[in-house]
Amino acid sequence: MAIMKKRPPVAQLGQPVLRQVAKPIAPERIASAEFQRFIDYMFGVLKAEGGVGLAAPQVYVGDRIFLAAVDPGPKGKLEPEVFINPQITPLADDQESRWEGCLSFLELQVLVPRWKKVKIEFLDREGKPRALELENFPARVVQHEYDHLDGVLTLDRAASTRDIIKASELDGVMDATGTKSAAD
């Protein structure tokens, strides 16, 4: 007899859904009560987990939607937005490597190169087309979450296995190498 374990709210490294390409969402589906409840569920998981972004595959759903904190709210704190069927275009040739964490493997930090400035086109929670130009940390967050929609993890972006470390060692590694975390 197999023992059934309750799965965590966020899919962890090794879950097949994290390696699958998510499917586009039909625009007419966005206004449905079921889909809106799913978005609310994602917001709840993101808040409970204390992250700055969350993609549908991370909550075991293969849809092209993610949440990302990119907009400074009234108190200057980044507030998450809904990105449905996003498309990202780099707006500059330069990239920057920073240490990134992921809710799907909190124990690790990965040094990841990302475009410093991007344009993201997407549908918002109401299904309206939008576009944003983002740079630095907000640009990094949307690129990280966008990767999840294509089954790509930060581990895949590391130039070397030496660029993957235990999260508990981040401060010492940053001091020794002069690198910065994504939040810096």
Rg for the chain, CA atoms, rounded? 17
Q: Please report, for residues 47, 121, 129, the alpha-carbon distance to residue 70 in angstroms, rounded to integers and kept in the order given.
A: 15, 14, 17
Cross-strand partners of 120:
88, 132
Query: pLDDT tens digit string along 74-117?
Result: 777 778 999 999 999 999 899 999 999 999 999 999 999 999 99
Cross-strand partners of 129:
123
pLDDT at 3: 54
Handedness of CA 88, 61, 80, 100 (dihedral sign): negative
Domain annotation covers residue 183:
no
pLDDT at 24: 98
Structure tokens at 54: 């969350």
Domain annotation covers residue 133:
yes
Domain annotation covers residue 5:
no
Residues shown for the chain: 184
Q: Which domain holds residue 42?
A: 16-177
Domain annotation covers residue 27:
yes
**Alpha helices, H only, 7-153:** 33-49, 136-149
Domain annotation covers residue 64:
yes
For all residues of the chain together, what is the average pLDDT? Answer: 92
Q: Is 79 a catalytic residue?
A: no
Query: pLDDT tens digit string along 162-173?
Result: 999 999 988 888
- Whole-number Å distance between alpha carbons of 106 and 98: 16
Domain annotation covers residue 101:
yes
Domain annotation covers residue 10:
no
Cβ neighbour number for residue 163 with a 10 Å cutoff: 20
Domain annotation covers residue 26:
yes
Q: Percentage of the chain with pLDDT > 70?
A: 95
Catalytic residue, candidates 121, 126, 145, 169: 145
SS3 for 125? coil
- Whole-number Å distance between alpha carbons of 33 and 56: 17
CATH at 25:
3.90.45.10
Under 8 Å between Cβ of 119 and 83: no
Task: Flag whether pLDDT at 25 surpasses 80.
Answer: yes
Under 8 Å between Cβ of 21 and 150: yes
Domain count, the chain: 1
Half-sphere exposure of 62 (CA within 13 A, CB side): 10
